């Protein structure tokens, strides 16, 4: 829900005519594939003067939704770039190069200081990943024996 409007997937269309009369979208020919069936086309044609009135309201809500999440994404990126997650978790690499890359690309001073202060922990993690990635047996051993004890 955003400003009283359901923007998520998985909703059901309900037409409310009065307190006592509420029907599903199938009454006007609306199906799960949103096909433009004859009854739906007729319903839209009968209500075509009402659609622009509501449409500008819906577009305003969608614009507000997009603006909010764009600002949120920018704020998050100012603290920690998405590149950081890719370099650390998706394609781990030598911690010295990782720290140098973070100093170059990360904007937030706290992240830069953290990366410089954690080189030993990053080195240990990298060494462990390198060891368990050498063979399939080493990987399975780590998953079942070491993972079980931590």
Contact indicator for 122, 95 with CB cutoff of 8 Å: yes
Identify the helix (H) or strand (E) that includes residue 105.
Answer: helix 95-105
Classify residue 56: in a domain, yes or no.
yes
Say yes or no: 62 and 99 in one domain: no
Say yes or no: 66 and 115 in one domain: no
Length of the chain in terms of residues written: 150
CA distance 32 to 12: 9
Neighbours of 30 (CB within 10 A): 19
Q: Which residues contact 51 (CB under 8 A, 6 or more apart)?
A: 44
> Residue 23 — φ and ψ, nearest 5°?
-130, 160
Averaged pLDDT, 109-117: 84
pLDDT for the residue 136: 93
Classify residue 83: in a domain, yes or no.
no
Write out the residue range of the structural domain in which residue 39 sits.
14-76
As beta bridge partners, residue 24 has 14
pLDDT for the residue 75: 92
Q: Are strands 14-16 and 22-24 parallel, antiparallel or unpaired?
A: antiparallel
Comparing CA positions, the residue from 98, 107, 38 lying closest to residue 78 is 107
Averaged pLDDT, 109-118: 84
101 pLDDT band, cuts 50/70/90, is: confident
pLDDT for the residue 57: 93
Say yes or no: 97 and 121 in one domain: yes
pLDDT for the residue 148: 65
Report the domain count for the chain: 2
* pLDDT score of 69 more than 70: yes
Please indicate whether residue 98 or residue 46 has the higher confidence score (pLDDT): 46
Classify residue 98: in a domain, yes or no.
yes
Comparing CA positions, the residue from 27, 23, 56, 22 lying closest to residue 39 is 27
pLDDT in tens, 18-58: 999 999 999 999 988 889 999 999 999 999 999 898 899 99
Averaged pLDDT, 79-106: 77
Averaged pLDDT, 98-124: 82
86 pLDDT band, cuts 50/70/90, is: confident
Classify residue 9: in a domain, yes or no.
no
Average pLDDT, the chain: 86
């Amino acid at each position: 829900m955003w400003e009283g409007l359901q923007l998520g997937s998985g909703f059901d269309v309900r037409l409310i005519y009065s307190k006592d009369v509420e029907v599903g979208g199938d009454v006007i020919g609306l199906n799960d594939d949103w096909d433009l069936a004859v009854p739906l086309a007729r319903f839209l044609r009968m209500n075509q003067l009402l659609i622009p009135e509501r449409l500008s309201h819906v577009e305003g809500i969608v614009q507000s939704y997009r603006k909010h999440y764009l600002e949120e994404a920018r704020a998050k990126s100012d603290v920690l770039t998405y590149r950081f997650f890719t370099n650390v978790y998706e394609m781990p690499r030598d911690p010295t190069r990782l720290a140098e890359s973070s100093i170059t690309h990360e904007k937030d001073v706290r992240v830069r200081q953290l990366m410089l202060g954690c080189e030993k922990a990053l080195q240990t993690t990298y060494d462990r990943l390198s060891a368990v990635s050498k063979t399939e047996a080493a990987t399975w051993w780590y998953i079942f024996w070491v993972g079980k004890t931590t």
